[in-house]
Structure 1
Amino acid sequence: MINRVVTMQRVLGQRFYSENKRVFLRKLKKFQSIGTNDLLPSECFDNRVVLVANTASKCGFTPQLGSMQKLYEQRRERGLTVLAVPSNDFGQQEPGEEDEVEKFYKNEYKVEFPITKKSKVIGPDAHPFFQALEEHYTSEVAPTWNFDKFIIDHTGDLRAVYPNDVDPLDPDVVELIDGLLDTLPQNKPQK
């Protein structure tokens, strides 16, 4: 089910959730690490739940980087990857060079989770992950501002979209992530 204060019914009309898109894992694997041309390692995505946020250093929601880090610290061993995608698309709030962005995230918020190269998140030049959001769902699912959050399950399906004003540590977000982490093969009780 997709959450964005917009339900899956509204976003997809009469399509049922069982129509798993499973396309997002391939798109996630196209992200490059900040400051390099290297793709992020597959281990960031394989058999993991991924929270993707389009981020910006100069935004009123920037303190959510601290919440993202805390969530990552608490759940990375269970299979959560948090992914920051710096973007200057909204309000020109990520104007710095990549080395400045990385330094700010790591120094100010102690970010240990992966940070991608600066990317477009809207429009025809958007990163393939963000293009797929709109292509496979609708423009209502695409980012509307900095710090929109997208949760992808281990099969590569989009499971939730939370708007920028929802903190990553909001109980609804945490409950959904914990439920998805419980479905990971490595977290299921051995029989």
Structure 2
Amino acid sequence: MRQLFLTLCALVFASTAAMAETTAYDFTLTGIDGKPMPLAQFRGHPMLIVNTASECGYTPQYEDLEKLWLAYKDKGLVIIGVPSNDFGGQEPGTSEEIATFCKVNYGVTFPLADKTVVKGDKADPFYKWAGEKAGALGRPKWNFHKYLIGADGRFIDWFSTPTKPMGPKITAAVDKALAAK
């Protein structure tokens, strides 16, 4: 009888742990305005979260990220730019300078986070979680690394720096994520 009880307890614990799986909604970034940006506010919407930099050779991707945002925001996609100075010191500006740069040069209207550490031991908790889900190859190696999160807050996929935001790889993945919501 005791063994049956222990087995049932183990099953209940395992199913409770599975139900309590960590998702992107458990994390909060800081917005470019300095206010908390809980990812839970985007519940029910797929998210493309991209670490960005203003002085990088890939900085023109802001233009395609804005195009993707405009093409998909009414369908439910959320894009979040996460400025980071982790790679080559290519995001040295203040929050205000970053926001102005993005608006003036690329017309960015999608949400931006404040400058965030995205790699290593000091990485933001969201980036630690996403990097764990993506595996060693899927962790940011440079600016404009992209994570796709499902409408349920679960990790879907990652896209390396050179992957174009309006390219078929990302748009197909976004279409699939939107169809699943």
TM bracket, shorter-chain basis: 0.7 to 0.9
The corresponding residue for 1:5 is none
CA distance, structure 1, for counterparts of residue 55 and residue 143 of structure 2: 10
The corresponding residue for 1:143 is 140
Counterpart of 1:160 in structure 2: which amino acid? D
Q: Deviation per CA, 1:62-99, whole angstroms, max 9, x where unpaired?
A: 01001000000011011100000000000100001110
Counterpart of 1:23 in structure 2: which amino acid? T
The corresponding residue for 2:97 is 100
Q: Deviation per CA, 1:149-171, whole angstroms, max 9, x where unpaired?
A: 11000111111111000110111
- Give ranges in structure 2 of 5+ residues lacking alignment: 1-17
1:172 aligns with 2:156: no
Higher helix share: 2
1:56 aligns with 2:78: no
Equivalent residue in structure 2 for 1:112, among 92, 109, 112: 109
Cα deviation, residue 35, structure 1: 2.8
Report if the CA contact (8 A) 1:32-1:116 is conserved.
yes
Report if the CA contact (8 A) 2:24-2:39 is conserved.
no
Q: TM-score, normalized by length of structure 2?
A: 0.84
Cα deviation, residue 137, structure 1: 4.4
Q: Deviation per CA, 1:9-46, whole angstroms, max 9, x where unpaired?
A: xxxxxxxxxx996522212xx01210313335744x21
Matches within 5 A, 1:69-108: 69-108=66-105
- Give ranges in structure 1 of 5+ residues lacking alignment: 1-18, 185-191
The corresponding residue for 1:31 is 29
Q: Which has the larger radius of gyration?
A: 2
CA distance, structure 1, for counterparts of residue 64 and residue 70 of structure 2: 10
Change in CA separation of 1:112 and 1:40 when aligned onto 2, cut-off 3 Å: farther
Cα deviation, residue 172, structure 1: 1.6
Change in CA separation of 1:65 and 1:135 when aligned onto 2, cut-off 3 Å: same
Q: TM-score, normalized by length of structure 1?
A: 0.80
Paired residue secondary structure (2:148): strand
Change in CA separation of 1:91 and 1:82 when aligned onto 2, cut-off 3 Å: same
Cα deviation, residue 180, structure 1: 1.1
Report if the CA contact (8 A) 2:33-2:95 is conserved.
yes
CA distance, structure 2, for counterparts of residue 80 and residue 68 of structure 1: 11
CA distance, structure 2, for counterparts of residue 49 and residue 118 of structure 1: 22
CA distance, structure 2, for counterparts of residue 148 and residue 42 of structure 1: 22
CA distance, structure 1, for counterparts of residue 169 and residue 150 of structure 2: 16
The corresponding residue for 1:128 is 125
Paired residue secondary structure (1:84): strand
Cα deviation, residue 139, structure 1: 2.5
